[in-house]
Structure 1
Amino acid sequence: MFNFQYVKIKKLLFVFIILLMLTGIRMIWIAYQMGPDQPTAHQGVLDLRNYELSENQTLILGGEWDFFPEVLWVPQSEELSQDRRMLVQVPKKENEDVPYPFGTYRLKILLPPDIERVYGIRVQSSEMVSKLFINGRQIVDTGQATHQGQVLPYTALFSADQEDIDIVLQVSNFQSLSTVGIEKSIKFGFADSVINEQKFDEALQVIVAVVLVLHGFGTVYIYFFFKSKKDVSYFTAVLFCMTLATLVEDSKVLLQWLPLNYEWFMRLIKLSYLGVAFFLLQFVKEFLSVDKKDKVVKGTAIFYGVYALVVLIMPLQSNMLVLIFLSFLVLYIVIFVSLLVFSPGFHEKGEVPWLVFSSLCMLSSATWGLIKTYVWPTLPYYPFDIILSFFGVAAFWFKCFFMTTTRVEELVTELKKADKAKDDFLANSSHELRNPLNAIINIAQTVLDSDKASLGQENKKNLELLITVSRRMSFMLNDLLDVTRLKENGMRIQPKSVKVQAVTVGVIDMLKFLMEGKPIQMVSDISDSFPPVWADKDRLVQILFNLLHNAVKYTNEGTIVVQARMENEMAVIHVKDSGIGIDEEMQKKVFDPYERGDLNSLDIGGGLGLGLSICQQLVALHGGTIAVHSVPHQGSDFYFTLPFAENSIEEQVKEEGISELCLADERKDDRVSSSNIQPITGEKARILAVDDDPINLKVLSSVLSSRQYEVMTAMSGKEALSLLDQLEYDLVITDVMMPNMSGYELTENIRKRYSILELPILLLTARSQPEDVATGFAAGANDYVMKPLNALELKARTQALIDFKLAIGDRLRMEAALLQAQIQPHFLFNALNTIASLSTIDTSRMVSLLEHFGQYLRASFDLKNLQKFVPLENELQLLRSYLYIEKERFGDRLQIHWEVDQQLKVEIPPLSIQPLVENAVKHGVLQRARGGTVRIKIVDYVAYTEISIKDDGVGMSEKRVEQVLGRQNDLARGIGLFNTNRRLQQLYGEGLQIRSVVNEGTEVCFTIPRK
């Protein structure tokens, strides 16, 4: 009870504050327009001798005027008799002192001395015909006293060259039952002030009319384009009538464009206000939809209808009817506001207060209109109540629109969630049902195959039916899973060149079990010369399977044929049947999910209606379209398009297949037993853990921290890539779901620098769906671990991948050492022949050559070559021995230029320089008859050491460079470069840089980063 009273008081307080605010604004406007206290006339005289009239001010000529009833006096005639003189109040609506149809008003204005100006006088009353005389001179004549005159207000300008102004105003009113009392104020002032005030008032009315018209356009748009209810049309009518009423009141702007006589002018005013009240009533009725108010609404509507007839039929009406009409208008607005304010949803609906505000503005405008008409006729025109009222209505509609839009968005979100929940439920149910369903099929098939002799005919049929139904159900489950994946855009195709003929025959064989018991023949009518298409073979099988399955399902007898043709450089594949056909209405929605044809003609249930929808989406993934042409009771023709496979693409596919086989064989040969492999140097294996959650990083560090591992952490993919530039790592463990750069993207970026053999990657994922796992492996991951992490599993997979990486690294080093140790026989023979020849020519050179030859052999078989790094001096010692031997052999044909800092201390991978120099000697300078020069340059920079081997030999083409680094040549040549390049990439992320020009020479360089 207390809460109800509190809410009630709160509502009343809201109404009181709004009304107080509206009244306060109006009073400020009145004070501004009317100015300070103005003098009034007494005994027919207005004394302005001691009053300073400002340039922007107008005076109301109010007070006591002389009035001579039933006399139309002209100043040039004899003076009026004072016996007939009356003093009347001007302005005044109902003046009992002037119950006459015509008469003469007179006012004398006393001006300050020595002021000669142009003055203006504005007469706003338009119900009477009048003549205006100033100082005996006629200024305005609006018509004859006994005839109809104009109904427009008018402004007269005149100059005064004397100290008083004599105003004589003849008035008459034979058009209505009212008297000739002056109802509206007469304004006086300097000419500019009077004219500016007139223009200002007219501009205000036009502005209000424009605002109303703009609102009207908006409501008309809403009504016609959004098919709104009747309340919008009623409100549009309210706006139209209110615009009309605004333009015919006060300054009567409309009459300047549309001249009307007095009678029709009065009818227009009353009908416009009548329309406002009537259509506002209908709007309230439609908006509130309260049945118990219908009698009141109908009664009021009848009253308005009768009043409209009175206005149209009778020449002029009494003011009493106008008063009753306006009273009903105000009363109904009050009722409307009360219903809104005290309605239960006032504080529950955010849009209702705007409508209450609008209603209160209309209430204020109507109330002050009554006050101006019957109590205070000198009030200035006030436009803001009407403007605020309709702005409130606009705010109400906008609020309704935005609330509706928000609600629709919420409903859409809820529907999407419900749809997603439904899809997840179907997918989960499908997963759960597949295993028991497969068990049913397998057990039934086993019983049917093993006990066929002992089973009766009826039991055999039942088992066959059980297997058939189970297989149908299996198809339904597969369709549900496919629909879910397609909705989530989780289905990816892997197109390649596919022979449609072979796929079609295979699908027909798969569907033979469905035709048992039906006189149906399935035929493939595709020419053997039909070119292959560019499609995912598995998805093409699924498309044809669904279409043929659908054809079998809706065909009781006849033929099903698969045909193919070429059209617009696309393959068009048809699946035609002689079944029950599809009507035109069903053809429009046959590819929609869960749409099924006529099930009455089917012996077994028609499925879920997903097969054709899946076909449409799968065809779209291939860039094609699918359609149907069907005639009921004659059959259907489903046809879809696929792109053709180009010859170049087909050849590329074959080459890629051969390449993949070679790569697989190569990897197979590279496998090395890696049980308990540890770094030869005894260093810890370095792991890079990447996760945006510091807690997860802490867990990983805790689990993997031991004497075997050194764990480095990064909280983003960008940071991880930066760390990979600084240090060498043996394993990367990364979370899949990370902001900005996902684990998949990080894996792809790492694979641009390191192969799957050189740096293993272990993914941490919360999902084990096949598509998620496949995505990880496609990005280049070596393995994955499910969250939440199991410490034993994580350690086992980590150790396995590190062992794998170390084994690959050891193999590369062993390969380099083995290549170096396998000294070619012709090199030995040539060296020995050189030694033998020197024994007879120069024994000292022979001894020196023997020493270098021995050093070369010792360095080639040194176990240090199996280490990860060796001092630069060791590599240079081997290189000097090799070059000394070759120099003795070839003499001046081989020139060596050294640019090496002897004080440089740096460690490099073993056998990383000598193979490059040997390649420059054998395949570079010695290929020329004149020989050439090999330049060995080692420069130490701040961040790295650069090693460069340059020769001026025969050079290589770009294609040859790619073959050398890609190991696409024979093993006898270039394997040293290939091995060195792979080891450098594994260690530093960057391999050899080769710049070569045919017949000009080759430069091979690489960098060793500073530790």
Structure 2
Amino acid sequence: MLSALLIRTVICVYFAMTLALFSCCASGADAAAGNSAPVARQGVLDLGAWDFRGNGAVDLNGEWEFYWKQLLVPDDFHRANAPNGKTFLALPAAWNGVRLNGQKLGGDGFATFRLRILPGPEKRELALHLDDLYSAYRLWSNGRLIVESGLVGKDVSAEVPSQSVRQPRLTIGDQPLELVLQISNHHYREGGIVSPIKLGTAEQLAAAQIRQWGVAMFCIGSLAVMGIYHIALFCFRRKNSAPLYFGIYCLLWMGYFLTSNSNGWVASLYFAKIPVQFLIRVDLICFVLSVPVIYSFLRTLYPGEFSHGLQQITWALAAIFAALGIAAPAMAFTSVIPAYYIFSIVLILYSLVMLFMAMRRKREGASFILLGFLALGLAGTNDMLHDLQLISSVYMFRTGMFAFILFQACALSIRFSQAFSTVEQLSGEREEHILALSRMDRLKDEFLANTSHELRTPLNGIIGLAESLSAGAAGQLSEQARASLEMISGSGRRLNNLVNDILDLSRLKNRDIQLHRKSVDLRSLTDTVLAVSKPLVHGRRLALVNDISRCMPLVDGDEDRLQQVLFNLVGNAIKFTGQGEVTVSAAAGNSEIEISVRDTGIGIPPDKLESIFNAFEQVDSSAARNHGGVGLGLGISRQLIELHGGRLWAEAHPGSGSIFRFTLPLAPSDAAPAAIDNRGHDELPLPVTAPTFSAALAALTPPSANAPRILAVDDDPVNLQVVKNQLGLEGMEVITAANGREALALIESGEIFHLILLDMMMPGMTGFELCRGLRKRYNSAELPVIMLTAKNRIADLTEGLEYGANDYLGKPFAREELLARVRAQLKVREAHETALENSRLCREMELRAQTEAELRLTQCRLTGMLNTVQEPIIAINESSEIAFCNRVFEESFCYGVDELLGQPFERLFGASTEVPQKWLNVLDKSGADLAGAGEILEMITSDGRRWSGRVIPAALELEDERLLVLMLGESQVVTPSLLWIEDLLQNRRRLQQMEETLNGLTPLVLERHPGFIEDLRLVDRSLERMSRELTPELPEQDQRRLIVDAMKLALELWSEATGTAKADLARLSGQWAVYVNLDGWERTQTLDRYLSIDTLPAKPRLKKVLCTGDFVLSSAHGDTPQRQ
């Protein structure tokens, strides 16, 4: 952040230089005019002592007679009645702001000026120079009209504005010269004579005007050249927009100079009929747009210093003012321009501060740009203040503009010089890098060649020893051991073929392959290659066809290299063809034979027809490609064919197969065919067939039933065998899958796996895709995944973990590392299953506790009703659990309530006793009427005694729960208690029926059946009478005291039984609100009101009190005084 002192310093320097510039301008103007130049006084200018030849032209400055709102002609001043309203106005000046009769004049209006000139004794031929008279005027000299510009009018409709430089001639003798000037302005913000009217010889005035126009044309041409040059720079290098902004800035000021009055209206020289309003609009619009353009130029150079928000504000203001310039009347538009002048001056000051900051930060070229913009800003400020008539000066923007262009050119040249230096430096570094890369490339080739040679010795030992052991060199081996040895030898041959390809590539690159040419029979050679390639088919419905004629001429070539080329092409065709045929054919020409290898496989995209011949290039290089290989075979084949003097190319149609064609020269006609040497066939990449791998995978001893099940997914059978061997030795069950889709099918079929070992790169579906699909169904703890990858880059490992893998293992991996990682993930899964089991047990315990609480609540509700019955009674709920027993049952059968509640009802009956099913059916409302359904049953007491007697069932509904009530007794008749229980059930049904009926009594029903109202009144009277007779009358005060006492006893019993506070009772019972204050304490304001008669509500809610009592009784255990 730039300090406040630095900002104040820049501002002070700016204003000091501005004042100095203005002082110089004022002193220069005074010097040009001369201190002895005559000035008009009271409308009279004395030129008797003025020497036009020695002193030059004179400005007719001073006090002119001024007649506001009057258009007078010379005759009006020579009549007896002189014109009224004469005042004096010092010229040059606009009449804006002049006070006349107590009022300040505006720019809009018309007036007459008059000046009398006293000449010298000599007669002279002179001329006048008129410029910047707004907006139309007429001038008389001694009564003769000498010049007219536009059409003077009293309003805007009558006036025709015009602006151009006029130099009318006149003659001055020994008599006074009278000048009468009519002027009107209805189109510009300023009216009157803004620039001095000059009087001098015609030659003097014409020469001065030509000089002014010459300077203006030079400026216009220079700006045009600079603008086009910088725009061209931008076209060649579009990344840097600074030249574009600067070029546009130059072109805008070129348009300004063409139409500006300060340059003598240059445009009027070429376009005389252009309306003055158009010139004024173009002039001001060019100025308005130049402000955001120059700010954008500076911000492009130094974006860290100049504000982007201020740039947007600048463009917005410029767009508004430009729109006004196009659409608004000239008077309105020119009247608001002073506000834009003020904004521009503030923006100049801000830009100077930011440029100084950029210079302090050592930005490139900031010093030159600061100096240039300082000159431009000072000149622009001078011109704007001069236009506003705040200072008396001359226009200096042309000088400031050229200073800015000069410093910009210096900065540009320095930038170009640094760019050239950078280019030279980079070119030198590039050459050094090229040399270094060439050396490294040679070292790489040498390393590959040497390493490949060194690899062949251990590979030969690995393959030889594996094959000899498999043949029985160390005795008879098991089937599993023999299969593993075959896989070792097969893997060794694959690696040996890769080593051979790398060696061939290095030799071809260094031109180090010698061809042993001889005459070769193509058909025999093809038979050999197709026979060797048959194992690659792997049981697919794929035919290998040799379509070369037995009469085909011999070719001239190296038999081994041609066999290598054919094997690469045929093997490549087999690899990319699922079914169909691979055909080798040939056609003889004049001097060469064209051989074709055609397949019906997937084909090759047109854009890959050439790139597939590059080293390490493949048709599908993605991780999910279906075919292996490193992409060397085709490139080696092309180079080998080119060494023979032929060509190799591909033709293909994606989805319908491909054709590889190559040409070979014909052998001499007298040459005999050489015998095909089959000794090198063992070096060809003979595949290890799938049945061998399958047998090896199945040969391990089956694991135990409780062994962890591991799913290994890899497209390489060798890797699968390695994993199965190492994990199988630890007693784990390993199931294998050759690709992602096969593994997904196993999981979707219901197979349960404890862990998945997943290869990252597989055909069809990559390990990433399979892992992402698994994570949509299983989380990382339910089914751990370990990625197996030969790519150990951090990016690949990070990607695997992001897709949901738990861990990764790089190939080749050690047995100990594999076992450690697998065991760690199995422990994670085991911990997850334990956590799930604990969670399930916790839920069951919570459900059990809830059930017990509900049973206790049922016991409490039934206690009040059934404890008065003299026979033993138990109640069974819908879960076939004991929900209630009365005191008589407890005493008779020696059971406690806590011992029975929640227990299966079968516990009370002997093994030979079976409760009738129709009794139990009442619990699901499917049973028949239980009247007279009593039976003799046998029950067991707590101490093991057997009780035999009649058990009478009854159904009871308690709120939403249906209960089976069993009454035990010796009598064979229905007891009054049973009838009472049935009456309770009937009363409950009555209440339910009444509730349903009352809910259906809408106003419409009552309107249709007016008799229902009288029936309801009868019911009300009956209920009131029954309540009055059954319920003892208590005074209201006694009822309120009973409510408070009940709540206090409930709270005491709750605290004693549970040891918790009343806030817990309020929350758990669900009857009372609990509030938390700002200090964190819980408050039970509503419940507290029921603990005192003074705070008890006028209409207490009795149901809340009863529900609270039931809840406390169901939650409190034991026989306490409060409970009684």
TM-score scaled by structure 2? 0.46
Instruction: Tell me by how many angstroms 1:335 deviates.
Output: 1.8
Q: Does 1:466 align with 2:463?
A: no
CA displacement, residues 355-411 of structure 1 (integer Å, 9 cap, x when unaligned): 445533431332121243124556256524224435655666776677678767866
Residues 219 and 134 (structure 1 numbering): CA distance in 2 closer, same or farther, change over 3 Å? same
Instruction: Tell me by how many angstroms 1:49 deviates.
Output: 3.7
Q: C-alpha separation between the residues in 1 aligned to 2:176 and 2:663?
A: 98
Q: C-alpha separation between the residues in 2 aligned to 1:237 and 1:329?
A: 18
Q: Is the 8 A contact 2:596 2:660 kept in 1?
A: yes
Residues 245 and 291 (structure 1 numbering): CA distance in 2 closer, same or farther, change over 3 Å? same
Residues 547 and 293 (structure 1 numbering): CA distance in 2 closer, same or farther, change over 3 Å? same
**Residue type matched to 2:167 in 1?**
A
Q: Is the 8 A contact 2:345 2:381 kept in 1?
A: yes
The share of aligned pairs that are identical, in percent, is 18
Q: Give the counterpart of 2:267 among 230, 254, 257.
A: 254
Alignment of 1:360-371 (within 5 A): 360-371=374-385
Q: Is the 8 A contact 1:555 1:578 kept in 2?
A: yes
Tell me the equivalent position of 2:657.
Answer: 635
Q: Is the 8 A contact 1:580 1:632 kept in 2?
A: yes
* Higher mean C-alpha deviation, range 513-522 or range 36-45: 513-522
Q: C-alpha separation between the residues in 2 aligned to 1:504 and 1:324?
A: 96
CA displacement, residues 533-569 of structure 1 (integer Å, 9 cap, x when unaligned): 9x999999998887677656645674263756769x9
Q: C-alpha separation between the residues in 2 aligned to 1:509 and 1:213?
A: 80
Residues 284 and 383 (structure 1 numbering): CA distance in 2 closer, same or farther, change over 3 Å? closer
Tell me the SS of whatever aligns to 1:339: helix
Alignment of 1:533-572 (within 5 A): 554=576, 558-559=581-582, 561=584, 563=586
Instruction: Tell me by how many angstroms 1:159 deviates.
Output: 5.1
Q: Give the counterpart of 1:139 among 129, 141, 146.
A: 146
Residues 302 and 598 (structure 1 numbering): CA distance in 2 closer, same or farther, change over 3 Å? closer
Q: C-alpha separation between the residues in 1 aligned to 2:505 and 2:636?
A: 7
Q: C-alpha separation between the residues in 2 aligned to 1:18 and 1:504?
A: 100
Residues 28 and 170 (structure 1 numbering): CA distance in 2 closer, same or farther, change over 3 Å? closer
Tell me the equivalent position of 1:151.
Answer: 162
Tell me the equivalent position of 1:104.
Answer: 112
CA displacement, residues 724-747 of structure 1 (integer Å, 9 cap, x when unaligned): xxxxxxxxxxxxxxxxxxxxxxxx
Tell me the equivalent position of 1:274.
Answer: 288
Q: Give the counterpart of 1:359 among 363, 373, 377.
A: 373
Residues 291 and 157 (structure 1 numbering): CA distance in 2 closer, same or farther, change over 3 Å? closer
Instruction: Tell me by how many angstroms 1:129 deviates.
Output: 1.0
Tell me the equivalent position of 1:185.
Answer: 196
Tell me the equivalent position of 1:243.
Answer: 254
Q: Give the counterpart of 1:444 among 456, 462, 465.
A: 462
Q: Is the 8 A contact 1:504 1:544 kept in 2?
A: no
Q: Is the 8 A contact 2:302 2:358 kept in 1?
A: no
Q: C-alpha separation between the residues in 1 aligned to 2:147 and 2:190?
A: 21
Q: Is the 8 A contact 1:333 1:363 kept in 2?
A: yes
Q: C-alpha separation between the residues in 1 aligned to 2:340 and 2:159?
A: 27
Q: Does 1:580 align with 2:602?
A: yes
Tell me the SS of whatever aligns to 1:151: coil
**Residue type matched to 1:204 in 2?**
V
CA displacement, residues 314-361 of structure 1 (integer Å, 9 cap, x when unaligned): 552387732221121122233233223313885243x44454455334
The alignment yields a C-alpha RMSD, in angstroms, of 5.7
CA displacement, residues 32-71 of structure 1 (integer Å, 9 cap, x when unaligned): 995876724232315374535369x655443444444444
Q: Does 1:479 align with 2:505?
A: yes
TM-score scaled by structure 1? 0.51
Q: C-alpha separation between the residues in 1 aligned to 2:530 and 2:440?
A: 30
* Higher mean C-alpha deviation, range 277-286 or range 402-411: 402-411
Residues 381 and 21 (structure 1 numbering): CA distance in 2 closer, same or farther, change over 3 Å? closer
Question: Which is bigger in relative contact order (C-alpha 8 A, separation at least 6)?
Answer: 1
Residues 229 and 434 (structure 1 numbering): CA distance in 2 closer, same or farther, change over 3 Å? same
Instruction: Tell me by how many angstroms 1:431 deviates.
Output: 4.0
Instruction: Tell me by how many angstroms 1:175 deviates.
Output: 0.6
Instruction: Tell me by how many angstroms 1:598 deviates.
Output: 1.5
Instruction: Tell me by how many angstroms 1:247 deviates.
Output: 2.0
Q: Is the 8 A contact 1:337 1:360 kept in 2?
A: yes
Alignment of 1:113-128 (within 5 A): 116-117=124-125, 119-128=126-135
Q: Give the counterpart of 2:354 among 332, 339, 345.
A: 339
Tell me the SS of whatever aligns to 2:167: strand
Tell me the SS of whatever aligns to 2:376: helix
Q: C-alpha separation between the residues in 2 aligned to 1:276 and 1:88?
A: 36
Tell me the SS of whatever aligns to 2:145: strand
Alignment of 1:774-785 (within 5 A): none
Q: C-alpha separation between the residues in 1 aligned to 2:519 and 2:416?
A: 55
Q: C-alpha separation between the residues in 1 aligned to 2:642 and 2:283?
A: 66
Q: Is the 8 A contact 2:306 2:354 kept in 1?
A: no
CA displacement, residues 386-442 of structure 1 (integer Å, 9 cap, x when unaligned): 244356556667766776787678668557578657635643542452233222333
Alignment of 1:503-902 (within 5 A): 516-518=535-537, 521=544, 525=548, 554=576, 558-559=581-582, 561=584, 563=586, 576-587=598-609, 589-590=611-612, 595-599=617-621, 605-607=628-630, 609=631, 628-639=650-661
Q: Is the 8 A contact 1:576 1:636 kept in 2?
A: yes
CA displacement, residues 862-901 of structure 1 (integer Å, 9 cap, x when unaligned): xxxxxxxxxxxxxxxxxxxxxxxxxxxxxxxxxxxxxxxx
Q: Is the 8 A contact 2:128 2:168 kept in 1?
A: yes
Residues 197 and 242 (structure 1 numbering): CA distance in 2 closer, same or farther, change over 3 Å? same
Residues 603 and 130 (structure 1 numbering): CA distance in 2 closer, same or farther, change over 3 Å? closer
Instruction: Tell me by how many angstroms 1:106 deviates.
Output: 4.0
Q: Is the 8 A contact 1:249 1:269 kept in 2?
A: yes
Alignment of 1:23-34 (within 5 A): 34=32
Q: Does 1:172 align with 2:170?
A: no
Q: C-alpha separation between the residues in 1 aligned to 2:418 and 2:411?
A: 10
CA displacement, residues 636-694 of structure 1 (integer Å, 9 cap, x when unaligned): 3345789x8999xx9xxxxxxxxxxxxxxxxxxxxxxxxxxxxxxxxxxxxxxxxxxxx
Report the count of equivalent residues: 631
Q: Is the 8 A contact 1:116 1:161 kept in 2?
A: yes
Q: Does 1:204 align with 2:209?
A: no
Q: C-alpha separation between the residues in 1 aligned to 2:183 and 2:486?
A: 115
Q: Is the 8 A contact 1:69 1:84 kept in 2?
A: yes
**Residue type matched to 1:92 in 2?**
A
Q: C-alpha separation between the residues in 2 aligned to 1:573 and 1:398?
A: 64
Q: Is the 8 A contact 1:68 1:84 kept in 2?
A: yes
Tell me the SS of whatever aligns to 1:155: coil
Q: C-alpha separation between the residues in 1 aligned to 2:171 and 2:586?
A: 107
Residues 161 and 121 (structure 1 numbering): CA distance in 2 closer, same or farther, change over 3 Å? closer
Q: C-alpha separation between the residues in 2 aligned to 1:282 and 1:541?
A: 70
Q: Is the 8 A contact 2:584 2:595 kept in 1?
A: no
Q: Is the 8 A contact 1:524 1:562 kept in 2?
A: yes
Q: Is the 8 A contact 2:189 2:335 kept in 1?
A: no
CA displacement, residues 473-526 of structure 1 (integer Å, 9 cap, x when unaligned): 44246536756x6xxxxx6999x9988967998899799877753468586959
CA displacement, residues 756-802 of structure 1 (integer Å, 9 cap, x when unaligned): xxxxxxxxxxxxxxxxxxxxxxxxxxxxxxxxxxxxxxxxxxxxxxx
Q: Which runs of 5+ in 1 are unaligned?
A: 486-490, 651-1011
**Residue type matched to 2:89 in 1?**
V
**Residue type matched to 2:183 in 1?**
S
Q: Is the 8 A contact 2:383 2:396 kept in 1?
A: no
CA displacement, residues 953-995 of structure 1 (integer Å, 9 cap, x when unaligned): xxxxxxxxxxxxxxxxxxxxxxxxxxxxxxxxxxxxxxxxxxx
Q: C-alpha separation between the residues in 2 aligned to 1:623 and 1:38?
A: 103
Instruction: Tell me by how many angstroms 1:245 deviates.
Output: 2.4
